[in-house]
Amino acid sequence: MTLASAQGYDNLIMIIVLSRDASSHNKEIVKSYLKDNGFSVREQIFGDDLLLCASGKTTADVRELTLLPGVERVASTSKPYQLASRETQAADTIASVGGVQIGGARISVIAGPCAVESKTQIMESAACVRESGAVILRGGAYKPRTSPYAFQGLGMEGLEYMKAAGEAYGMPIVTEVVSPEFVEAMKDLVDAYQIGARNMQNFELLKKVGATGKPVLLKRGPSATIEEWLLAAEYLLAAGTKDVILCERGIRTFETYTRNTLDISAIPVMKGLSHLPIIVDPSHAVGIRNLVPKTALAAIAAGCDGLTVEVHPNPEKAFSDGPQSLYPEQFERLMRDIEVLAPVVCKELLRTPKKPAAAQNNKGLDGKWAQAFSLVMEKVVFCGENGAYSEQALNRAFGENCSRLPVKSFPAIFDAILGGEATFGVIPVENSLTGSIHENYDLFIRYPDVVIVGEIKMRIVHCLITTEDATFETIKTVRSHPQGFAQCKEFLDEHPGWRPETWNNTAAAVHSIAETARSGKPDVTLAAIASETAAKVHGLKALKTGIETNPLNYTRFVIAARNEGGKALVPDGLAGQKPTKASLVFSVKDKPGILYTCLQILNNHGLNLAKLESRPIVGQPWNYMFYVDITMPDEKQNMDAALSDLSKQAESLHFLGAYRAA
């Protein structure tokens, strides 16, 4: 453990997280231990946790501290921003703003006008940004303007309009608070406070806002260093809020062409230094409308968790920041581009299901389908364990808070859905490098009462994961799921001496290696192929990342549910949205031209083929079954008629489900 005197901070900070059932007696013992070791101790409430923050120019035995009764976890840092530091909390914070989450594997977009100008204007703005997929509404009711003669905002009246717009369109609202005196009055109207760039170091404001415990969007000051910005976040965290979202909005440099200079590298820097989510405001960063979309995409590529973008229904008439406000159609285009770019950086654009506000979920879930399914959702089953790719897909679809059931095999997923232990299942069916996962197609046929109700596509980046001291030279055995081996074939071919060992799933392979480290005898001859998340979960090292044969490596997962009397649990797709895709499996008799006849039936009914794949039927040499995905027609009757005609020609026909394409 080193002291960070090089940075001018001699103090070592130990953060001791007490377990929820720790007694006050336990707490006093820990405090005395720390004091006896030369630390000064402060109690800190942090969300639902009670922490002891010990500070001193000394060290303590972490193992001994961890063993004291009532201690859940011990972390240490030499950074002055102790609560914000990645060293004291390795896992990303996922902030929740009125039930919408920011952080993790999602990209959350906040949008709206610079200022609330009238009830009509904020209603129109809310309607259009939501239509394009924004999940939180922004707008200033109190405006900190450079000139005292410029529009200062509508104040509380504006805030009332904004709340009404947020409620009408099912979006939480975020708005700037400019003075400590307004904090209390705004509290019940806003879902998140925004601390503006000019106020980043208004410490009295930070303390007052932080003490409300409400989420805060903290803009970076125009001339603030990263460390000053993190210390401002620390004020909020120390005062009692856990949901702090950092916002890079450009800093002042010698360049004056753009309004500010977007510090794009602040994004990866912050990701390393802190667990807090970071979003980007491209509008105030560049100040010129046509530069906003490209800059926004660069920020997404750099790894930010979301954006806050100024959009105005009529930018020429805007009371403030019109020149940088996007036209609604520009915003729509930007959102479509983000949707395409997000999976490349292993994220997914969070979209609000288009549903009336009254039907919002009440379980704090925010995944792509969580709101749509919340009325029936209880548990989601996946194959694997903590850190598995399937679990990451589950998080994308249903949010990190969703309750989950890990099982050891694919058939167990189907059993859990049928048996009612889980309401939904997440099942991989196809990989862009290795093709369809036949076992799961077969299971859909074996379990006709389990149907597909949704899909999700996820980029798969594989890593070679080892214990700390392992090197390429020490490795003898590589463990993974057969899909992991298949997708990394070229890399493995370069190491012919390594022996592949098949495991049930990639995360289990990592787990088995972590066990050797935990037992005190880390085995440097072992490596696993799995995700970086799995490595983090088990505290192992990613010796090499990106070892898949081709970086365009995507896996398609489907969301399955039980068919209730001919209808799936969510028969109309997501949140009342019409299904856009359907999947079928059929087999044909060995008869000349029969496949042509079957495909012609689909064509005759105007159905577009999105996928056609054949595979031999096990036990019936030279007989084939076909996997077909079709684009759903506008008229459902066409689909029904096609299925009816097809069933007359095909030997067998299985309808796997109709759902909204990812």
In b/e form, how buried is each residue of 19-55, taking b as 16+ CB within 10 angstroms? Answer: eeebeeebbebbbebbeebebebeebebeeebbbbbb
Is residue 114 involved in binding ligand PEP (CB under 6 A)?
yes
Residues 6+ apart with CB under 8 A from 238: 44, 83, 210
Supply φ then ψ for residue 235, to 5 degrees: -55, -45
Which of 53, 71, 102, 114 is in the footprint of Mn ion by CB under 5 A?
Answer: 114
The secondary structure of 21-60, three-state, reads: CCCHHHHHHHHHHHHHCCCEEEEEEECCEEEEEEEECCCC
Question: If residue 582 lies in a helix (H) or strand (E), which one and from where to where?
Answer: strand 581-587
How many CB atoms are closer than 10 A to CB 261? 17
Three-state secondary structure call for residue 404: strand
**What does the alpha-carbon distance between residue 517 and residue 514 come to, in Å, rounded to a whole number?**
5
Which of 196, 277, 399, 657 is in the footprint of ligand PEP by CB under 6 A?
Answer: 196
Query: Site residues for ligand PEP, window 130-159 (CB under 6 A)?
Result: 140
Which residue type sits at 73?
A: R
| Closer of 196 and 384 to ligand PEP (Cβ) | 196
Burial of 493 (0-12, 13-18, 19+ CB in 10 A): exposed
* Least distance between ligand PEP and beta carbon 150 (Å): 12
How many CB atoms are closer than 10 A to CB 333? 14
| Closer of 291 and 650 to ligand PEP (Cβ) | 291
Three-state secondary structure call for residue 414: helix
Mark residues 278-317: x for contact with ligand PEP by CB under 6 A, - for none: ---x--x---------------------------------
Q: Which does 430 bind (CB under 5 to 8 A by kind): Mn ion, ligand PEP, none?
A: none
| Closer of 258 and 638 to Mn ion (Cβ) | 258
Say whether 557 is catalytic: yes
Q: Between the CA of residue 494 and those of 472, 490, 491, what are the distances in Å? A: 11, 7, 5
Query: Site residues for Mn ion, window 179-238 (CB under 5 A)?
Result: none
Q: Are 509 and 479 in contact (CB under 8 A)?
A: yes
Q: Which does 210 bind (CB under 5 to 8 A by kind): Mn ion, ligand PEP, none?
A: none
**What does the alpha-carbon distance between residue 26 and residue 575 come to, in Å, rounded to a whole number?**
49
Per annotation, catalytic residue among 382, 506, 555, 626: 555
Three-state secondary structure call for residue 572: coil
Is residue 524 involved in binding ligand PEP (CB under 6 A)?
no
The secondary structure of 433-483, three-state, reads: CCEECHHHHHHHHHCCCEEEEEEEEEECCCEEEECCCCCCCCCCEEEECHH
Cβ-closest residue to Mn ion? 114
* Least distance between ligand PEP and beta carbon 115 (Å): 7
| Residues facing 479 on adjacent strands | 501, 528
* Least distance between Mn ion and beta carbon 324 (Å): 7
Residues 6+ apart with CB under 8 A from 321: 114, 115, 283, 284, 287, 310
Query: Site residues for Mn ion, window 288-327 (CB under 5 A)?
Result: 321
Window of 107-115, 264-272, 285-293, 582-590 that interacts with Mn ion by CB under 5 A:
107-115
Residues touching ligand PEP, count (CB under 6 A)? 9
**What does the alpha-carbon distance between residue 605 and residue 84 come to, in Å, rounded to a whole number?**
59
Q: Which does 197 bind (CB under 5 to 8 A by kind): Mn ion, ligand PEP, none?
A: ligand PEP
Is residue 219 involved in binding ligand PEP (CB under 6 A)?
yes
How many CB atoms are closer than 10 A to CB 88? 24
Per annotation, catalytic residue among 414, 444, 557, 655: 557
Window of 109-117, 161-169, 547-555, 583-591 that interacts with Mn ion by CB under 5 A:
109-117
Residue indicated by tokens 């717009």: 165
Query: Site residues for ligand PEP, window 155-184 (CB under 6 A)?
Result: 176
| Closer of 217 and 417 to ligand PEP (Cβ) | 217
Q: Which does 219 bind (CB under 5 to 8 A by kind): ligand PEP, Mn ion, none?
A: ligand PEP
Query: Site residues for ligand PEP, window 266-285 (CB under 6 A)?
Result: 281, 284
Query: Site residues for ligand PEP, window 334-363 (CB under 6 A)?
Result: none
How many CB atoms are closer than 10 A to CB 360? 17
Q: Which does 174 bind (CB under 5 to 8 A by kind): Mn ion, ligand PEP, none?
A: none
Mark residues 539-578: x for contact with Mn ion by CB under 5 A, - for none: ----------------------------------------
Say whether 555 is catalytic: yes
* Least distance between ligand PEP and beta carbon 124 (Å): 18
| Closer of 292 and 650 to ligand PEP (Cβ) | 292
| Closer of 248 and 321 to Mn ion (Cβ) | 321
Query: Site residues for ligand PEP, window 225-264 (CB under 6 A)?
Result: 249
| Closer of 97 and 114 to Mn ion (Cβ) | 114
How many CB atoms are closer than 10 A to CB 327? 16
| Residues facing 405 on adjacent strands | 381
**What does the alpha-carbon distance between residue 299 and residue 287 come to, in Å, rounded to a whole number?**
15
User: What is the 8-class DSSP label of residue 143?
Assistant: -
Is residue 165 involved in binding Mn ion (CB under 5 A)?
no
Residues touching Mn ion, count (CB under 5 A)? 2
| Closer of 325 and 361 to Mn ion (Cβ) | 325
| Closer of 219 and 479 to ligand PEP (Cβ) | 219
* Least distance between ligand PEP and beta carbon 195 (Å): 8
CA angle 140, 142, 145 (to 5 degrees): 95
Give residues in contact with ligand PEP (CB under 6 A): 114, 140, 176, 196-197, 219, 249, 281, 284
Residues forming the active site: 555, 557
Q: Which residues bind Mn ion (CB under 5 A)?
A: 114, 321
